[in-house]
A and B are shown apart, each in its own frame.
Chain A
Amino acid sequence: MRHIISVVLENETGALSRVSGLFSQRGFNIESLTVAQTNDPSLSRMTIVSSGDDRVLEQIVKQLNKLIEVVKVSDLTSQDHIERDLMLVKISPTKKDNFDLKQLVDVFSCKIVDVTDKTYTIEISGKTKKINAFLDAFDPASILEVSRTGVTGISRGKKLI
């Protein structure tokens, strides 16, 4: 099963490699990992998407907690939450893409952020599924380049991590 794990950790050099090292050392998989500083500049927040059964997830959470620099770990998937993935994609539509790009962009409520005579660069954010659906709408040959941030997430309501 897919899990979204939020990790709050000391914003120190090396903290990221401790987390990624832990995943490779113990054979846990990483689908995506994003990290950035929080409103408190001494802390970073990391969102990791991983998969595994309950026992694996339990180990992932416990092993993360064991890292000296980790302050908090929470499995977002087990609670009501919001998740977003951001993608920038460069497209050069082919004949097979016989739809109006402007309309498609409206349907997916995303934005064209750059245009050349041959390419469009589009910014889209949302759940991973939505972004995948957007890509699926195109002929694979028309997708020139994709850059995604991976999932970031936060719990719904008043509850904090």
Chain B
Amino acid sequence: MKLNGAEILIDCLQQEGVKHIFGYPGGATLHIYDALEAQEEIIHVLVRHEQGAAHAADGYARTSGKPGVVLVTSGPGITNAVTGIATANMDSIPMVVISGQVPSPLIGNDAFQEVDAVGITRSCVKHNFLVKDISEVAITVKKAFHIATTGRPGPVVIDIPKDVTINQMELEEYPETVKMRSYKPTTKASNRQIKKAAELIANSQRPILYSGGGSVIGNASKELREFTRLLGFPITQTLMGLGAYPGTDELSIGMLGMHGTYEANMAMHDSDCVVAIGARFDDRITGNLAKFCPSAKFIHIDIDPSQISKNVVADIPIVGQTKQVLQALIEELKDEKLADISKWWSQINTWREVDSLAYRKKSGVIKPQTVIEVLYEVTKGEAIVTSDVGQHQMWAAQYYLFDEPRRWINSGGLGTMGFGLPAAMGAKIAMPDKDVVCVTGEGSIQMMLQELSTMLQYKTPVKIVNLNNRYLGMVRQWQEFFYEKRYAMSYMDALPDFVKLAESYGHLGILVENEADLKPALVEALKQKDRTVFVDIITDPNENVFPMIPAGGAHCDMLLAGRDDMISKDETDFNAV
């Protein structure tokens, strides 16, 4: 049977087990859309902006663990998707993006809606392909899914010229496996390194486990729990790792880094043995590298060799999957006698008493922290929470304690405002039975508002919790601290009436101006199982995120709430928001 390239492409996607595609049509993809329309296995979600498609596919991938699939047209279609692709790339999210391209004979001619998609996306993908011939369609799709989902996952772009989708050939069997001599993601960790690490762990006096996105991406939550409990060590998690180890557990000392807890950062600073598990020593974690963990030895577990000794030199590097490495370490350590760390724990417990997430309520204003606490209570801590970028993101990370992985969905590496809403839609499509909440700010939500329309069409009921402080709050916070309160362009004037706006999109809107109305509003929103509800909450415009390590500071140089006098001006970095 002869099929055209578009039909072959769709056949391949079906064979890959793709159930949802997020996309937007155009001239270069018309044949692909024609082939999609003729089948029922794959549901296509028509977004309202290609960036939304990429974020939705990303949210889908982060919640389900399966690769997200995006389909966009040439030119503006793919350029609109770039922010979403870069977002996924920074956080190692598996995604396959198919972009239409102008017909092969026109490539390089400044043809209508032509951009060099491969060139533009090169630096923000794991890999990309230009399909030159219909005979390459199947093998390229196979390679794309293989690359996107193995090793350190990431987005892969397949650029397909229109003529390739039109030409015909006999359908061949879709390859079951693919072998590439140039791509062999390392998997088996060295036994010698495991033994060395076990020895260091067993003898450390002030150990700390520092777990990151690699524990979530690598589905190593079970092993992480077993490992941590076997050792009885304190564990801190990055913004990307939250939930892999339960946030409510006694051994968890919270998030670390710029807005981490006092106990987590102090423990990092004083530790003699830091075990990094699928975490990449990002600059939001390390602060000033020269002052980072001055007395620690580092064990670094990562699937990507290039992450090891990039920012911090590892004493014991272990290249491998978090899941397998932790299993091996558990085996190695399970009958081992460990050093007594009870003194270390009593030290950590005195740091805990500082209660660095405490905040003072003020009558007449709703504190953003309270909103997250009430949301936690109302959802029993079991919702999938997506977020945008800013102060609200930090408060959600600090006050909503995640007990399971893949429940906290946010853009950490790129910090993309606009991520939250489409990601929530993607999450809801992946997990229709779960409550999905999007915690956002009045700045971020306006970057991808149009997806409210998609959410009506595809009936993806999400609860939007808008922490409306009338400021680009995170920017305002930096200006308050480091620019002598010169609030340049951080005030959001002329805000829409979000309730009416939600209603005009066919959703429900609730305005909350008093704390007394907060809980009833959230309870009501969550009761509305079949509707998207926009809860616009007017919060304290002047609240800041604490603790905070000013850029350039050490982990022991934290600013705590109500102690603004600790700020030292020369420790600021002027380009880091």
Residues of A in contact with B (beta carbons under 8 Å apart): 9-10, 13-14, 17-18, 21, 25, 55, 58-59, 62-63, 65-66, 68-71
Contact = CB atoms under 8 A, between A and B. Distances in A.
B309 A68 contact: no
Contact of A65 (B123, B130, B305): B305
Nearest to B186: A65
A9 B123 CA distance: 18
Closest 9 CB pairs of A and B: A62-B306, A68-B127, A71-B182, A25-B123, A68-B183, A62-B305, A69-B182, A63-B306, A66-B306
Contact of B182 (A14, A25, A63, A70): A70
B147 interface: yes
Contacts of B126: 68
B291 interface: no
A59 B306 contact: yes
Interface of B: 118-119, 122-123, 126-127, 130, 147, 180-183, 304-306, 309-310, 313
B135 to A, nearest CB: 15
B309 A58 contact: yes
B278 to A, nearest CB: 17
B97 to A, nearest CB: 15
A85 B475 CA distance: 53
A17 B119 contact: yes
A9 B122 contact: no
B495 to A, nearest CB: 38
B43 to A, nearest CB: 30
B185 to A, nearest CB: 10
B123 A21 contact: yes
B122 A17 contact: yes
A146 to B, nearest CB: 31
Contacts of A55: 309, 313
Contacts of A58: 309
17 contacts: A10-B182, A13-B130, A14-B130, A17-B122, A21-B122, A25-B123, A55-B309, A59-B306, A59-B310, A66-B304, A66-B305, A66-B306, A68-B126, A68-B180, A69-B182, A70-B182, A71-B181
A68 B305 contact: no
Contacts of A13: 130
A11 to B, nearest CB: 11
Given A17-B119, A18-B122, A21-B122, A68 B306 contact: no
Given A68-B127, A68-B183, 16 more contacts: A10-B182, A17-B119, A18-B122, A25-B123, A58-B309, A59-B310, A62-B305, A62-B306, A65-B305, A66-B304, A66-B306, A68-B147, A68-B180, A68-B182, A69-B182, A70-B182
